[in-house]
Structure 1
Amino acid sequence: MHFLVMATAALASSAAVPAPPGKAEADAALDRYLVGAMTTAAAGPGCVAGIASGGKLLAERASGLANLELNVPMRTDMAFDIGSTSKQFTALSAAILARRGQLDLDADIRTYIPDIHAFDPPIRVKHLIYHSSGLPDVYQPLEWLYGDSDGNRYPASVTLDMSRGIKQLKFAPGSQYEYSNLGYLLLGQIVEKVSGQTLRAFADANIFRPMGMTSTAFHDDARELVPNRASAYSLKADGKTWEWRHSDFDVMGDGGVYSTLGDLAKWYGVYSDPSRLEGGQALMDMVLTPGSYTEKGASYLGQPMNYGFAVQMLTHKGQKVIGHAGGWAGYATAPYYFPARDFAVIAICNVRKREVLDAVLDAGAALAKQP
């Protein structure tokens, strides 16, 4: 059995796992590892961060500004675009449908999207989940063509139109891991085709509402207001001047979820108590089943990893880690669960800061070692 499946199953027994951190430990870890990494220049954007266990925040911090133009301070209840962290909810939706017998993960994707080119060997649904489809990137050509990396200067549907024109894969499906946003856009389409619902509606009914995540949704209407939204920013080429970032991209699957620190804390409680979800532990065992590749396996930050249903399964400083980072249009998300003591360290920023990801992993590894 895979080590993270074993770790998750072990959480069912309180005797098998040391107690989670207490508030004092969590506060100290945030102050030591996260607060400095979260800080930007004066009057700049920032982050929220927290340490959670059992779906509840033990400690939380906020830094910087949520809106530079209005000088609004960051608060821990702010909502952010969580970028590719959204993929776990697309993949979980597919897993729920598969367990119901409605979706065949071994089927050719043309079973559900018939206007995709007929490749030989075929791309199967599981290849989309595990990033082993061989599909080429469509975002980079669009960025070159339109001069925009945030999906604003072209209709979002163009990405799906381009997918129908692909006639050649980069490698045989199932042979290699290569991260593919397009694959998850197509997986989102499949969930919608099979369920007869939008991805937003399906995830809300089957994931977010059962988990009590009332401030989380696939944002499939770019003009829709988002309560307590923190605006995103990046530095201009001069390295001194902030500019506003946003995205009108509203095709869901590879990203698109808005969420909060508190809601992600609730989500990461699923690893110790999956009972709120249809399928419970059996569903989570499926989600944590890693993909297999005949030639080149999965890696992250230059290190080998296992990759499940949009779940990165890593080892950092000797500690097992479960999660999925995300970044899009100025936002950055780093949420990771540490099964050794049943807790998560979560940071979400309205500016891209790699040091925050490092700080999340370092804080978690340090806490996980302490009995």
Structure 2
Amino acid sequence: MGSMRDRLITVFVGLAIVATTDACTSPSQSHDSAAPSAQVDSLFLHEIRPGAPGCAVGVYRSGEIVLARGYGVASVEDGRPITSRTTFNLGSASKPFTALAALMLEQRGALSMADDVRRWVPELPDYGTPIRVRDLLQHTSGLRDFGTLELLSGRVVSTQAEFLGLVASQRALNFAPGTRHEYSHTDFGVLGVIVQRIVGVPFGEHLQNVMFGPLGMSGSFVDDLGRSALRDRALGHQVLPRGPSVAFPNSHTFGGDNVYASVEDLARWDRNFDQPIVGGAEIMARMLSRPTLPNGDTIPYAYGVRLDTYRGLRTVSRRGHPPGTQTVFMRFPEQRFTVATLCNADDLSAPKLAERVADIYLADVMSLQKPRVTPPKAVAMSPPELTRYAGTYRSIDDPWNVLSTEVRQGVLGEIIPDDAADEVFYPMTPAGDGRFFEIGGTGNVGLYTFRPSASGGPLRLEISWNEGPIELSERVTDAAVWRPSAAALAEYAGTWFSPDLDAGWQLETRGARLVLRRRDRVELTLQPVERDRFLRGFGSDGDVSVRLQFRRDRTGRVSELTVSTLPGENAVRNVQFTRLVAH
């Protein structure tokens, strides 16, 4: 419900938000007459505090560096400054490198896009319909997302062997291969395994030989346990109320992540799109093509890059978000202009900063810029007034999508699941006339508008982030809210096991709550939706919404559990659990 991913450190700002918002002027607006490099400095120095995690930014024209600078520190542990040569984990922005490696193997006849993936990765089950190599490159494989599987299993996947073991345990797909497009981190991880097995050397060594070396990307590497020198690496940071905390890297998987590069090296990568040294013009053009599905729909994202537009200009881009880090590589092919922004704190939005850098350099050829979304003026409301808006709200379009609001200590807020604390209370600032707002960790503005139903029915809630599409929900009447008794919850308690996850879930009652208990993990409360249906958000801010559907046998005893996420990116569907022991 709403835009969860941005709400990493949302803070209640109360009436003070008015003075703060009015006093802050966008650096790009107040320094329009300054040189572009000075405007870029002003932009980043406005966002990054001295001694705090920060960003590196690279600006390129025709593959040549126009600007390459660093701001902030690579680690709060040692205070190393970020420079233009500091390497960052690109996260999912590593995927274009893997795509190019696969296409180069096809070019030399070592691989076919029509190959059954099991030719190279026989550990995967036979799902009936073959998964082709092309399905991995265009996210039409149907493979369940391994990041979500990792969350559900409660285990950390650190190596490619662990990754492959988890993926090979999946007895079913999300959908039949080739029939639809759905982003899954699993696809490029499997593609990385295929590349490594074909070339016969570690994946990182292969990229060094055929890509980094020839392109002159001397500081770039893959952290796949095949390299001991980590060079000048920036560490990610999670920004907490007490300050930034280093997110030390614990993943060495490859194919879909863990390419480290600097903004200086990325200029050479950028140049290869227009002046191909590696792969050749035909392959680079193919990376920018868009395949279609059997129904004729064009696939929006393939070969590791996304084709889009920004302010009327065509773009080719890729983002990444490894723990405590945000990265983006954004090309404007017709202008032969590119921005790379690499940030090592989860409250610094690399994509937004890259767009603002592009605004500085390309304003003359861009369409009119949409005004930045700002929060409305805050007002004061008494606790009795706030209580009118507390309750359970259910999406008009999706009955599984439920949001709960409460008044705590005189403040209205929504209850969001969180792995670290079970749940987090996010205060909502009143703006009058039934309107409230939240400000996300990277500056996104969420507007929550409560309106009476025209027919006199339940109160309605409209949610819009950054003036985007409105999500419409309706308050569930008290009589319609399923509030199971402790005895009713006990029907679901017991030990449940999933062969797909090779993991067990212990469900236990805690008074009027049903909780999920796993070893060395915080107990997670399951939210009742209706009889035999529960909801739980996993991950930071509950950004992976998981639906638990219980089923009963002929005697009415609860005997099966199916777990699924929402359709779309990072999806997992119909993971089966069997009840081993009832309580």
Corresponding residue number in structure 2 for 1:277: 278
- Aligned partner of residue 100 in structure 2, secondary structure: helix
The residue number in structure 2 matching 1:27 is 37
Partner of 1:5: none
Distance, in Å, in 2 between the alignment partners of 1:293 and 1:354 is 36
Once the two structures are superposed, residues 160-217 of structure 1 have per-residue CA deviations (whole angstroms, 9 ceiling, x without a partner) of 1011121211112122221111111110111112222222122111111111101111
Quick one: which amino acid aligns to residue 184 of structure 2?
S
Q: Does 1:335 align with 2:329?
A: yes
Q: Which residue of 2 aligns with 1:197?
A: 201
In structure 1, stretches of 5+ residues that fail to align are 1-23, 299-304
Output the amino acid matched with 2:293: Y
Residue identity (%): 26
Normalization by structure 1: what TM-score? 0.82
| CA distance, structure 1, for counterparts of residue 63 and residue 264 of structure 2 | 8
Distance 1:230 1:240 in 2: 21
- Indicate conservation of the 8 Å contact 1:83/1:326, yes or no: yes
Matched residue of 1:324: which SS? strand
* Two-structure CA RMSD over aligned residues (Å): 2.4
Unmatched 5+ residue regions in structure 2?
1-33, 366-583
Query: What is the CA-CA distance between 1:79 and the residue it aligns to?
Result: 1.2
- 1:356 equivalent to 2:365? Answer no
Query: Aligned partners of 1:56 and 1:101: how far apart in 2?
Result: 33
Contact 1:318 1:365 in 2 (8 A): no
**Separation in 1, partners of 2:356, 2:179:** 32
Amino acid in structure 2 at the alignment position of 1:334: V
The 5-angstrom pairing of residues 5-24 of structure 1 reads none
Show CA shifts across 1:68-94 (max 9, x none): 122232222211111111111111000
Q: How far apart, CA to CA, are the structure 2 residues paired with 1:103 and 1:88?
A: 17
Letter in 1 for 2:225: D
Contact 2:204–2:226 (8 Å) recurs in 1: no
- The C-alpha deviation readout for 1:208-230, integer Å capped at 9, x for no partner, is 11111011111111883311112
For 1:262-292, what per-residue CA distance to the aligned partner results, in whole angstroms no more than 9, with x for missing partners? 0011111112211x114x1111112112132
Tell me the distance in 2 between the aligned counterparts of 1:115 and 1:65. Answer: 43
User: Hey, what's the Cα distance between the residues in 2 that align with 1:331 and 1:296?
Assistant: 36
CA contact (8 A) 1:333 1:349 kept: yes
Between Structure 1 and Structure 2, the one with more helix by share is 1
How far apart are the structure 2 equivalents of 1:296 and 1:354? Answer: 38
Equivalent residue letter for 1:93: A
Distance 1:361 1:235 in 2: 23
Give the aligned partner of residue 258 of structure 2: 256
Q: Is the 8 A contact 1:222 1:250 kept in 2?
A: no
- Per-residue Cα deviation, 1:219-262 (whole angstroms, up to 9, x for no partner): 111883311112221123xx232211022221211111111110
The superposition leaves residues 107-160 of structure 1 with CA deviations (integer Å, 9 ceiling, x where unpaired) of: 211121122111232111001011111111222232343365xx45xx552221
Give the C-alpha shift of residue 60 in structure 1. Answer: 2.6
CA 68–243 in structure 1, closer or farther in 2 if over 3 Å, else same: same
Other-structure match for 2:515: none
Q: CA separation in 1, counterparts of 2:175 and 2:122?
A: 21
Q: Which structure has greater strand proportion?
A: 2
Q: Residues of 1 paired with 2:228 and 2:264: CA distance?
A: 21
For the pair 1:54 / 2:90, whether they are aligned, the reply is no
Structure 2 counterpart of 1:142: 150
* Distance in 2 of aligned mates of 1:341 and 1:142: 41
Q: Does the Cα contact within 8 Å between 1:35 and 1:61 map onto a contact in 2? A: no
Report the 3-state secondary structure (helix = DSSP H, G, I; strand = E; otherwise coil) of the residue aligned with 2:74. Answer: strand
Asked if residue 345 in structure 1 is aligned to residue 336 in structure 2, the reply is no
Q: Quick check: 1:174–1:292 contact (8 Å CA) kept in 2?
A: no
Write out per-residue CA displacement over residues 272-331 of structure 1, whole angstroms, 9 at most, x where no aligned residue. 211x114x1111112112132346968xxxxxx732310111111111111211111212
Stretch moving more, 159-168 or 287-296: 287-296
> Partner letter of residue 327 of structure 2?
T
Kept after mapping to 1: 8 A contact 2:54/2:348:
no
* Matched length: 332
Residue in structure 2 matched with residue 267 of structure 1 by the alignment: 269
- The corresponding residue for 1:92 is 100
Higher relative contact order (CA 8 A, sep 6+): 1
Answer whether contact 1:176 1:297 (CA < 8 A) is retained: no
How far does residue 36 in structure 1 lie from its aligned partner after superposition?
Answer: 5.4
Give per-residue Cα distances to partners, 1:321-345, cap 9 Å, x unaligned.
Answer: 1121111121211111111210111
- The correspondence for 1:325, drawn from 319, 326, 336, is 319
TM-score of the aligned structures, taking structure 2 as reference length: 0.54
Partners of 1:213 and 1:287 in 2: CA distance:
20
Shift of residue 364, structure 1, vs aligned partner: 2.4
Question: Which piece of structure 1 moves more, 180-189 or 347-356?
Answer: 347-356
Measured in 1, the distance between the counterparts of 2:251 and 2:362 equals 38
Alpha-carbon distance, 1:362 to partner: 4.1
